[in-house]
C-alpha cells in the first residue's frame, strides 16, 4: 500500500468531526421519522410533563405533537372518544372499563404495523411509554371510585399506583402465532409497564385455538370467534391468589377485591377483552375487578 | 424457527446436516424413492443418527459448521456419535455465550488424531438423546402420493428459486406465485428435498461473523452479521424470541424488507452462471464473429455512443474463459447527462441474452425504473422483462431482463450474468453499504458489472483516471451539441426573497427572458418547505398562473411532471428529487441557493443536465443563483466545460456550421 497524504487528511477530518460530536447536545434519530433531532429542543414548549423521559428522548418534537392522544373520553365504559353504540347495545360487560392511549388513526396504524407485523421491536418501549399517561389517569380514576375525594388525597407516586393493582396480565397469542411472529406485542407492553411500576406480571390466560388474524374479520365474526377462546393458566392464577392473601395479612392493601389489569395493543369491538375478562371471572370465584388498558382505540 | 441436526454415513463417509423436515431426509437417505418422483438418491446411507430434540435454527446450522470445520472425518460409529455430541454441545454453549471450544469437542479431536481411547464413551444417557436411522427403515410418516407431490414441488422450487435469496415468508409467496399450491402447502418439505438435491441452500438469515478468519471459529461468539444485507454487529438487535425459545438477533438495517432474524430461514437458490451453460454458445458464435461495429449499427448510436458501447461490449464479452477468477469485473460508463446511456446498454444486454444469460438493470430510484420499463420492452420485444420495485406486481416472476430498484436486489443471490447499475451516485445507493452489498451479491461469479453515471463518485473517478478501473467516457450528448454551460448570478437567498416577497431583479429578468423564448422552467430550491411559497411568489412576480411546486412528499408528483411535460405547467419549483431521470423538451434550469449545503458538484451537474436535452432545442440555459460563489458551483462549471472540451477534441460535436461548437 502506498502512502497517501489525502487519505490521512480525510481521516483526520473525520476524527475531528466525530470528536466534536461528542461535545454537541444529545442528538438521536427519531424512532418515528428517522430524522436526527435534538432532545432538548423537542421537549420544549408543550406541556409534556406526563410523558416519560425516554419517550421525549426517542421521538422528535414534530412527531410527538402529531400523536393523537385520547384524553377526552366520552364513553366511560370502553374509553372511546366519541359516542359509543357498542356499549349501549351490550351494557353487560365482564370488565369494569377500558382505557386507551391513542386514537387509532392511519399514522398509528402504520406505527403498530411497523412494530407488530414488520417486527421492529425497538418500538416496543416507545409504545409502552405511550401507555404510561393513560395508565396513570386510569389509576387516578380508579382511586376516585374506591375512595371519594377528600383532603387527604395526595399525589400519586409509583408506589401508590402499584398499590391499586394486584397483577398485570396480557392477551396471549397462540403458539402458532408465536412461532411466526416471534413475540407477543401485548406481553412486551405489559412487561414494560409492570417493571416500571413494580406490579407483578402474570400470564393468567392461555389461548386455546388458533384463529385468523382479527384484522381480517368482520364485526360479527370477531364476536363469534372470540367466545371461549381463552383459558385460565391455573398455576399462575393460584399464585396471584396467594400473593393477595399474604398482602392482605400484612394489611398492605385496603380493599378485598382482586384487581387485575389486562393489556392489549388495540381495542376495536372489545370482544377480545370481553372474552379474557369472562374467562377470568368465571374461574376466579372471588370478587374480581378487571380493567383493560389498550394502546389504541379504533 | 427450529431445526434438527443429524449425521449419516454415505459411501463410507460420515457427514452432518441440518434439516427442517427430518422425515424427508430420512426417506432420502434410507430409501431414496419418492413415489412418482422416482429414485432421487443414488448413494444411500447405511446408517444415520438424528438429534431428537429440535434446536434453534441457528444452533443447528452452527453444529453442522463445527462438524464441517474438522478436516479429518471420523469413520467408526462411536467416534461419529461423539463428534455429533461435541458439535451440538459446542453450538449450544456458544449460543449461551460460553466458550465453545472445550470439553467434548477437544476430546473428540484428540480421539481422532491420536487414537486416545480413554474417557469419552458413548453411554446410555447419550443414546437417549439421539435416534438411529438404519438402512431399509424408510419411514412411513409420509404417504407415497405425498412423496410424489413433494418431489414435483422440489423441482418447481429449485427452478423458481434460482438465483434468489428469500426469507421464509417470501419463499412461500414465491411458491404460491409460481402456481404450486401443493408445493406452497408443503413448503418446508419441498424446500428440504430441494436442499438434499443440492439445488437450494437453507440457513439462518443471520449467522456468526468471523471477520474472515477461520481460526476465529467460536472465539468471537457474539459477533453476528446479516446474510441478506451484509450488515454487521452494529445493526443486530437481540430480543427474546418465541419462535426459537432463546434470545436471538434480528437485523435492524434491512427490516423494511421483512425481518431477517437468527432463527429465520434464508432460502438461497443455486444457479449455474454463464460459464456452466455451453448450450447457447454455438448459436451466438456466428453472431459474435461479426465485427463489433457492424453489430452496433442496428442500434443507431452516435459516434461517441458507438465508441463507448464498443469498448463496454468488448469488456463484457471479454470471455468468461479468463473469468475463472470468480471475482466480479467492473466497468464504468461515464456519460454526460443526456448522452443516451440507456441506448448504450442495449447492445450489452443483447449480447448476454444471446449467450443465454440473464441481465439486470438496477437503479436506486423507483421513478427511473418505471420510466425505463417501456423503453426496454420496446428495444427487446422478444425478451421477457420483469420490473421490480416496492409494490410491483411482478414480484415473483423471473425473466431474461430484470429491471429493478437497488433495494430489491437484496432478494437475489448470484442471479445475473450482466448487472448494470444506473445512477450509482444517486441517493439512496450512494453511500449505502447495504445496497452495495446487494448489488455485489446479485452478480453471478465471473459476471460483468457495468456502472453508469454522469457524475461518478470521486473514488471511482480517481480509480478510472489511474487506470485501475475499466471505463469509457461519453463527453457529448446524443444530439452532438455541447452541454449548456451554467452562468452564475448573484441573488438574494431564497429565504430572503420569501421574506421580502420579491424576486431579485437579475433573476426575474432571466426568468422572463426564458419564458419569452417559450421554454419550460425548472426552479430548484433546497428545502421541501420552500417549494410552495416560492411557487406562490413566482406566480405573483411573473404574472402567470401556470406555476406549480412538487417534492418527494407530494403525492401528485408524477401527475405534475406529466403536466409540465405537456406544457400545462410552465414553471415547476422542485427539490433535488427531480434532479435526474426527467427529460423535458425545451427547458431552462434555475438553481436557487446554489451555494447551499445540499447541492454538491454532482447534484449541480445533474440539475444543469435538465436543460437542452432535446435535439430541437439543444441550447437551454442554466443559471446558478446564489449569494456566494462556492467550490461546488465552480467545480460543476469546470466539469461541464471539461466534458465539452473533450467532446470537441474527439470531434464528437457537430461541425460549427450546423450549430455545433457554439458557446
Residues B322 and B440 in one domain: yes
What pLDDT score was predicted for residue B663? 42
Instruction: Identify whether B384 is part of a domain.
Output: yes
Q: What is residue B638's predicted lDDT score, i.e. its pLDDT?
A: 95
- Judge whether residue B593 has pLDDT over 80: yes
Spatial CB neighbours of B319, under 8 Å, sequence gap ≥ 6: none
What are phi and psi for residue B363, nearest 5 degrees?
A: -145, 150
pLDDT for res A37? 74
Q: Which comes out higher in pLDDT, residue A192 or B83?
A: A192
What integer pLDDT is reported at residue B120 of this predicted model?
A: 58
Supply the CATH number for residue B539's domain. Answer: 3.40.50.300
Instruction: Inform me whether the pLDDT recorded for B558 exceeds 50.
Output: yes
pLDDT digits (tens, 9 = 90+) for B65-94: 888 877 655 667 788 888 888 888 888 888
pTM for this entry: 0.83
* pLDDT tens digit sequence for B127-171: 888 998 887 666 667 788 888 889 999 999 999 999 999 999 999
**Are B577 and B646 in a shared domain?**
yes
Residue B247 maps to a domain: no
- CA dist B191 → B41, B151, B163, B267 (Å): 16, 10, 15, 8
Under an 8 A CB cutoff, do A183 and B252 touch? no
Residues B455 and B340 in one domain: yes
pLDDT at residue A212, rounded to an integer: 64
Domains: count for chain B = 3
Q: Do B1 and A118 touch (CB under 8 A)?
A: no
Q: For residue range A11-51, what is the model confidence (pLDDT) as tens digits?
A: 787 777 777 766 655 567 888 887 777 655 544 545 556 78
Q: Is residue B236 part of a domain?
A: no
Last-in-domain residue among B185, B204, B223: B204
Does the residue B549 lie in any domain? yes
Return the pLDDT at B401. Answer: 95
What is the number of other CB atoms lying within 10 angstroms of the CB of residue A17? 9
Q: Are residues B470 and B498 in the same domain?
A: no
- Categorize the per-residue pLDDT at B393 as very low, low, confident or very high, splitting at 50, 70 and 90: confident
The verdict on residue B255 lying in a domain is: no
Q: Note whether B534 and B571 are same-domain residues.
A: yes
- Residue B99: pLDDT band (50, 70, 90) is low
Write out pLDDT tens, residues B224-279.
Answer: 899 999 998 889 998 999 888 888 899 999 998 999 999 999 999 988 776 555 44
Distance from CA of B597 to the nearest CA of A (A): 16
pLDDT at A257: 83
Q: Are residue B79 and residue B112 in the same domain, yes or no?
A: yes
Identify which of A118, A120, A179 has the shortest CB distance to residue B242. A179
pLDDT of amino acid A9: 77
C-alpha dist (Å) from residue B15 to B5, B18, B34, B131, B364: 11, 10, 22, 16, 43
Give the Cα separation of B195 and B158 in Å (integer).
9
Q: Suggest the residue from A172, A174, A179 to mutate for an interface test with chain B (most B CBs closer than 10 A).
A: A179
| Residue-by-residue DSSP string for A225-285 | HHTT-EEE-HHHHHHHHHHHHHHHHTT-S---SEEEEEEEEEESSSHHHHHHHHHHHHHH-
Residue B424 has pLDDT above 60, yes or no: yes
Count the alpha carbons within 13 Å of B214 in the hemisphere toward its beta carbon.
Answer: 6
Task: Quickly state the pLDDT bin for B332 (edges 50, 70, 90).
Answer: very high
Whether residue B531 is found in the same domain as residue B447: no
Q: Domain range spanning residue B601?
A: 487-658
CB atoms within 10 A of CB B98: 11
**Residues whose CB falls within 8 Å of the CB of residue B517, separated by 6 or more in sequence, listed in order:** none
Nearest to B1 among A118, A179, A183 (CB): A179
Q: Is residue B189 part of a domain?
A: yes
With bands split at pLDDT 50, 70 and 90, how would you rate the model's confidence at B473? very high
| Contact at CB, A181 and B242, closer than 8 angstroms | yes
Taking an 8 Å cut-off on Cβ atoms, the answer to whether A119 and B1 are in contact is: no
Number of H helices, E strands in chain B: 22, 25
One domain, residues B298 and B417: yes
| pLDDT score of B623 | 95
When the pLDDT of each residue in chain A is averaged and rounded to a whole number, the result is: 82
Read off the pLDDT band of B363 (50, 70, 90). Answer: very high
CB contact under 8 A, B261 and A180: no
Q: Alpha carbon of B540 to those of A42, B520, B543, B547, B565: distances in Å?
A: 36, 18, 5, 10, 22
Are residue B158 and residue B81 in the same domain, yes or no?
A: yes
Domain boundary among B169, B188, B204: B204
CB-based contact A179 B240, cutoff 8 Å = no
CA distance B495 to B569: 24
Choose the final residue of a domain: B152, B180, B204: B204
Cα-to-chain-centroid distance, residue B516: 46
Q: Is the same domain home to B428 and B515? A: no
pLDDT at residue B218, rounded to an integer: 47
Q: What does the pLDDT read at residue B447? A: 85
Interface residue of A4, A14, A121 to substitute, partner B, most B CBs within 10 Å: A121
Q: Do B242 and A121 touch (CB under 8 A)?
A: no
- Is 50 exceeded by the pLDDT of residue A155? yes
* Segment 231-260 of chain B within 8 Å of chain A by CB: 237, 239-243, 250, 252, 255-256, 258-259
Q: Rg of the Cα trace of chain A?
A: 23
Q: Which residue of B has its CA nearest to A121?
A: B239
pLDDT value for B177:
86
Model confidence band, residue B212 (pLDDT cutoffs 50, 70, 90): very low
CB A100 within 8 A of CB A281: no
Helix, strand, coil in percent for chain B, rounding step 5 = 40, 20, 40
Contact A183 B250 (CB under 8 A): no
The band of B523, judged by pLDDT with boundaries at 50, 70 and 90, is: very high
Looking at residue B95, its pLDDT comes to 80
Contact B243 A179 (CB under 8 A): yes
Residue B548 maps to a domain: yes
Give the chain A residue nearest B243 (alpha carbons).
A179
Gap from B243 CA to chain A (nearest CA, Å)? 4
Q: Do B239 and A179 touch (CB under 8 A)?
A: no
B617 and B638 fall within a common domain: yes
Q: Is residue B249 part of a domain?
A: no
Instruction: Give the chain B residue nearest A173 (alpha carbons).
Output: B242
Which of B1, B239, B263 minimises the CB distance to A121?
A: B239
Query: Which among B1, B255, B263 has the least Cβ separation from residue A120?
Result: B255
Distance CA B50, CA B584 (A): 66
Please say if the pLDDT value at position B214 is more than 50.
no
- State chain B's mean pLDDT as an integer: 85
For the stretch A55-88, pLDDT in tens is 888 888 888 888 999 988 888 888 888 888 878 8
Q: Where are the alpha helices (DSSP H) in A39-172?
A: 39-43, 53-58, 61-65, 85-89, 106-116, 123-146, 158-164
For residues B320 and B275, the answer to whether their CB atoms sit within 8 Å is: yes
The tens digit of pLDDT for each residue in A250-265 reads 655 556 788 999 999 9
The tens digit of pLDDT for each residue in B286-315 reads 566 667 777 888 888 888 999 999 999 888
Cell matching residue B431? 453511500
Tell me phi and psi for residue A229, to 5 degrees: -85, -25
The CA distance from B390 to B366, in Å, is: 8
Cβ atoms of B37 and B147 closer than 8 Å: yes
Q: Tell me: do B92 and B118 sit in the same domain.
A: yes
Element (H, E) at B534: helix B528-542
Residues in chain A: 298
Amino acid at each position: 500500500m502506498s502512502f497517501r497524504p489525502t487519505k490521512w487528511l480525510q481521516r483526520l477530518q473525520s476524527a475531528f468531526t466525530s470528536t466534536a460530536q461528542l461535545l454537541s447536545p444529545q442528538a438521536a434519530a427519531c424512532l418515528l421519522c428517522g430524522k436526527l433531532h435534538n432532545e432538548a429542543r423537542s421537549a420544549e414548549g408543550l406541556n409534556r410533563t406526563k410523558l416519560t423521559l425516554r419517550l421525549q428522548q426517542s421521538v422528535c418534537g414534530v412527531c410527538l405533537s402529531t400523536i393523537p392522544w385520547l384524553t377526552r373520553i366520552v364513553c366511560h365504559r370502553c374509553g372511546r372518544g366519541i359516542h359509543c353504540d357498542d356499549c349501549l347495545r351490550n351494557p353487560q360487560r365482564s370488565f369494569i372499563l377500558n382505557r386507551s392511549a391513542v386514537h387509532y388513526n392511519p399514522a398509528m396504524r402504520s406505527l403498530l404495523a411497523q412494530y407488530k407485523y414488520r417486527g421492529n421491536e425497538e418500538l416496543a418501549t416507545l409504545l409502552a411509554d405511550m401507555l404510561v399517561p393513560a395508565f396513570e389517569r386510569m389509576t387516578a380514576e380508579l382511586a376516585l371510585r374506591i375512595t371519594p375525594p377528600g383532603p387527604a388525597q395526595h399525589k400519586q407516586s409509583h408506589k401508590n399506583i402499584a398499590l391499586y393493582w394486584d397483577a398485570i396480565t396480557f392477551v396471549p397469542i397462540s403458539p402458532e402465532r408465536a412461532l411466526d411472529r416471534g413475540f407477543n406485542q401485548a406481553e412486551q407492553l405489559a412487561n414494560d409497564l409492570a417493571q416500571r411500576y413494580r406490579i407483578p406480571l402474570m400470564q393468567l390466560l392461555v389461548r386455546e385455538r388458533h384463529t385468523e388474524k382479527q384484522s381480517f374479520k368482520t364485526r360479527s365474526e370477531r364476536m363469534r370467534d372470540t367466545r371461549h377462546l381463552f383459558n385460565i393458566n391455573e398455576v399462575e392464577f393460584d399464585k396471584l391468589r396467594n400473593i393477595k392473601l399474604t398482602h392482605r395479612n400484612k394489611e398492605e392493601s385496603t380493599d378485598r377485591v382482586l384487581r387485575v389489569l389486562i393489556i392489549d395493543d388495540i381495542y376495536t369491538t372489545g370482544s377480545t377483552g370481553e372474552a379474557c375478562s369472562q374467562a377470568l371471572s368465571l374461574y376466579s370465584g372471588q370478587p374480581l375487578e378487571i380493567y383493560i388498558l389498550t394502546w389504541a382505540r379504533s | 424457527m427450529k431445526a434438527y441436526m443429524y449425521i449419516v454415513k454415505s459411501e463410507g463417509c460420515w457427514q452432518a446436516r441440518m434439516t427442517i423436515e427430518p422425515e424427508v431426509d430420512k426417506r432420502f437417505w434410507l430409501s431414496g424413492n419418492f413415489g412418482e418422483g422416482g429414485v432421487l438418491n443414488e448413494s444411500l446411507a447405511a446408517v444415520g443418527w438424528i438429534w431428537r430434540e429440535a434446536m434453534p435454527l441457528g444452533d443447528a446450522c452452527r453444529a453442522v459448521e463445527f462438524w464441517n470445520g474438522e478436516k479429518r472425518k471420523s469413520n467408526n460409529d462411536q467416534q461419529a456419535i461423539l463428534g455429533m455430541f461435541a458439535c451440538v454441545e459446542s453450538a449450544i454453549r456458544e449460543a449461551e455465550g460460553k466458550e465453545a471450544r472445550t470439553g467434548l469437542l477437544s476430546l473428540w479431536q484428540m480421539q481422532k488424531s491420536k487414537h486416545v481411547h480413554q474417557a469419552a464413551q458413548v453411554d446410555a444417557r447419550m443414546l437417549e438423546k439421539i435416534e438411529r436411522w438404519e438402512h431399509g427403515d424408510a419411514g412411513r410418516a409420509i404417504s407415497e402420493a405425498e412423496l410424489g407431490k413433494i418431489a414435483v414441488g422440489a423441482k418447481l422450487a429449485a427452478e423458481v428459486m434460482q438465483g434468489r435469496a428469500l426469507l421464509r415468508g417470501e419463499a412461500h409467496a414465491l411458491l404460491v406465485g409460481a402456481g404450486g399450491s401443493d408445493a406452497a402447502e408443503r413448503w418446508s418439505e419441498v424446500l428440504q428435498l430441494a436442499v438434499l438435491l443440492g439445488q437450494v441452500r437453507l440457513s439462518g438469515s443471520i449467522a456468526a461473523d468471523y471477520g474472515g478468519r477461520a481460526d476465529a471459529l467460536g472465539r468471537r461468539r457474539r459477533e453476528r452479521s446479516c446474510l441478506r444485507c451484509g450488515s454487521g454487529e452494529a445493526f443486530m438487535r437481540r430480543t427474546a424470541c418465541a419462535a426459537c425459545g432463546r434470545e436471538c438477533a434480528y437485523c435492524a438495517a434491512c427490516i423494511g424488507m421483512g425481518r431477517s432474524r437468527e432463527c429465520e430461514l434464508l432460502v438461497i437458490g443455486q444457479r449455474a452462471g454463464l460459464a456452466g451453460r455451453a448450450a447457447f454458445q454455438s448459436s451466438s458464435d456466428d453472431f459474435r464473429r461479426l465485427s463489433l461495429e457492424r453489430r452496433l449499427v442496428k442500434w443507431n448510436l452516435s459516434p461517441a455512443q458507438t465508441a463507448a458501447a464498443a469498448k463496454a461490449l468488448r469488456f463484457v464479452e471479454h470471455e468468461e474463459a479468463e473469468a475463472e477468477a470468480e471475482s466480479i469485473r467492473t466497468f464504468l460508463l461515464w456519460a454526460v447527462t443526456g448522452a443516451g446511456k440507456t441506448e448504450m446498454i442495449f447492445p450489452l444486454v443483447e449480447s448476454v441474452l444471446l449467450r443465454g444469460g440473464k441481465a439486470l438493470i438496477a437503479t436506486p430510484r423507483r421513478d427511473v425504473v418505471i420510466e425505463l420499463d417501456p423503453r426496454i420492452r420496446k428495444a427487446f420485444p422478444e425478451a421477457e422483462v420483469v420490473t421490480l420495485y416496492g409494490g410491483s406486481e411482478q414480484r415473483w416472476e423471473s425473466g431474461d431482463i430484470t429491471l429493478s430498484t437497488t433495494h430489491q436486489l437484496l432478494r437475489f443471490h448470484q442471479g445475473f450474468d450482466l448487472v448494470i447499475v444506473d445512477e450509482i451516485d444517486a441517493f439512496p445507493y450512494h453511500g449505502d453499504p447495504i445496497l452495495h452489498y446487494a448489488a455485489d451479491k446479485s452478480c453471478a461469479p465471473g459476471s460483468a458489472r457495468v456502472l453508469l453515471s454522469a457524475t461518478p463518485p470521486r473514488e471511482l473517478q480517481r480509480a478510472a483516471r489511474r487506470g485501475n478501473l475499466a471505463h469509457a467516457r461519453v463527453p457529448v450528448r446524443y444530439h452532438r451539441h455541447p452541454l449548456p454551460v451554467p452562468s452564475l448570478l448573484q441573488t438574494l437567498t431564497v429565504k430572503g426573497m420569501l421574506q421580502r416577497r420579491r424576486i431579485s431583479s437579475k433573476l426575474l429578468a432571466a426568468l422572463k427572458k426564458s419564458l419569452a423564448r417559450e421554454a419550460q422552467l425548472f426552479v430548484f430550491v433546497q428545502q421541501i418547505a420552500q417549494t410552495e411559497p416560492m411557487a406562490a411568489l413566482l406566480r405573483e412576480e411573473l404574472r402567470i398562473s401556470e406555476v406549480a411546486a412538487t417534492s418527494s412528499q407530494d403525492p401528485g408528483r408524477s401527475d405534475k411532471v406529466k403536466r409540465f411535460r405537456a406544457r400545462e405547467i410552465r414553471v415547476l419549483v422542485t427539490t433535488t428529487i427531480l434532479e435526474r431521470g426527467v427529460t423535458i423538451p425545451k427547458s431552462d434550469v434555475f438553481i436557487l441557493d446554489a451555494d447551499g449545503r445540499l447541492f454538491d458538484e454532482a447534484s449541480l451537474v445533474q440539475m444543469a443536465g435538465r436543460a437542452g436535452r432535446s435535439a430541437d432545442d439543444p441550447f437551454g440555459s442554466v443559471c446558478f443563483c446564489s449569494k456566494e460563489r462556492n467550490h461546488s458551483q465552480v467545480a460543476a462549471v469546470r466539469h461541464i466545460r471539461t466534458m465539452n472540451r473533450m467532446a470537441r477534441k474527439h470531434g464528437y460535436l457537430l461541425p460549427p456550421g450546423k450549430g455545433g461548437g457554439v458557446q
